[in-house]
A and B are shown apart, each in its own frame.
Chain A
């Protein structure tokens, strides 16, 4: 019987079956940030188990609230910083070098096809774009990961989604994943891994695949996953050039993770995107999705571009292409948080930051910031935000605030128009 990508990864990492249907796997990496890790650290200390399984396999970043906004967030950063020093965790990214975890860690080359990764953050599923099994976990799982380098999961079951057709001009990976979530529902993939495949995925950049996998959790999935291919090799090449004779050799090796032709899926869906339009969410759940054109007249108070979903260079390029030579509507404010320092620098070098600033955007340092309503652009009660992030839950970006999830191009067009508008309809 053939195997899916996740099944192959589990086979290569299984250390135990503690009970029927449960598999404990060895972890290649444990990623950490300052919101969920300090509690794990404090708890390990309280239990007299302040140890790490392998400092070289632990990567940590301060990204959610940075620079610290108050004494409490400063303490969270300090607990993480002190711990990293104490245990010789050298891949620790403090202010000046930090960025949104799921954008930063791939950029540093910390993810490989076939890897197993956990992090105390639900959007860890982003990293499946590289053909890795990467799952968000809670603090207790994180603690055990830090201590023992293992984590237990249910035996993987995979939903395969073949994305076919041609992506129309002005429609992006964000619109694709919103449409898929709309179709699956917020629990349509619970306890499953989603394998994204098909010609549209093969044609996507790694950035776009990360956007796709990022929101797999919004359909309840444990992980989104893409087969590693030439694009994966090219992206990772600077980090793997010593391991392989050439690109071709790397690709051959990566292919060992490809799903078998006779792999067994819990479900297979085909999603033709040829007629897809720019989409937006309309309610408080990410599966409440409809075309921007059918949204009616939605006046917006704030536009936010950034996050692990859409804060990468391609996203900034798409938004800047809409903004070039235009100004944001006087009735709203707009914020850009490039996801990492590298993205920020590249955007500077390409003149994109100038475009955003000319248009009237506030540009912040790389951080999660407004995405989870902790800093850098929190909404007031009753305010409406068009955002390139991944969650429109009640209060997500500020108590009493409303969030419409959109692509960077739609966010930029909305900033210019003052109301929800796709770039196609911008006059």
Chain B
């Protein structure tokens, strides 16, 4: 199983699509590592600077429908290549969400109120999140403030995270 958590990047926008996460012009790459420099290159978000804002990040917190658009698994790979194993959002597009779990990464949905509160309390500050996987609990911390947020994973998603992905899981089972 992967390490989850780390420094948090807040992306305050809904409907961030996979073309923004990793533009099609880089789909000629055939290794995950080669995608690293291009993550979020086309993100339409004011004041976002990929070079500055992605350094050291382990988790993204964002709004609704993250990962819509193309089916490219390059999107989770580009995240993974940058050490981002966890995305927390109000909701996800189906294929992106499945791709994350298929890779053994996590795409966790939280209630819109919870996401709104996390943005209010933590965005714009240096924030980290620790993940208690067996306990299904996030712990957000930033200079003196802290918040625990429980989360749930469907049994199948949990099995994929524990198995490290869908290929091994399916090859044993079918």
Contact = CB atoms under 8 A, between A and B. Distances in A.
Interface in B62-107: 64-65, 68-73, 76, 91-96, 98-99, 102-103
Nearest to B155: A19
Nearest to B168: A47
A49 to B, nearest CB: 7
Nearest to B66: A187
A373 B24 contact: yes
Contact of A70 (B28, B42, B76, B96): B28
29 contacts: A15-B174, A18-B156, A19-B155, A20-B155, A22-B156, A39-B73, A47-B167, A65-B28, A70-B28, A122-B70, A137-B71, A138-B76, A138-B95, A141-B98, A141-B102, A144-B167, A147-B171, A152-B166, A187-B65, A190-B91, A191-B94, A220-B68, A222-B94, A373-B23, A373-B24, A374-B27, A393-B69, A396-B19, A396-B24
B15 interface: yes
B154 A24 contact: no
A138 B91 contact: no
A407 interface: no
A73 B28 contact: yes
Interface of B: 15, 17, 19-20, 23-25, 27-30, 41-44, 64-65, 68-73, 76, 91-96, 98-99, 102-103, 154-156, 159, 165-167, 170-171, 173-174
Contacts of A35: 27, 72
Query: Which range holds the interface residue count of chain A?
Result: 35 or more
B164 to A, nearest CB: 11
A159 to B, nearest CB: 14
Contacts of B93: 187, 190, 220
A113 interface: no
A143 B27 contact: no
A52 B26 CA distance: 27
Contacts of B94: 154, 190-191, 220, 222
Which residue, A18, A76, A138, A396, has most C-beta atoms of chain B within 10 A? A138
Contacts of B155: 19-20
B154 A19 contact: yes
Nearest to A397: B24
Contact of A395 (B20, B154, B174): B20
B95 A24 contact: no
A186 B69 CA distance: 9
Interface string A148-165: 101010100000000000
A120 B99 CA distance: 11
B2 to A, nearest CB: 15
A191 B167 CA distance: 22
Interface string A378-398: 000000000000010111100
A202 interface: no
A140 interface: yes
Contacts of A139: 73, 99
A76 B95 contact: no
B95 A140 contact: no
A18 B173 contact: yes
B17 A393 contact: yes
Contacts of A325: none
Given A148-B170, A285-B15, A76 B91 contact: no
A85 interface: no
Contact of B19 (A15, A147, A395): A395
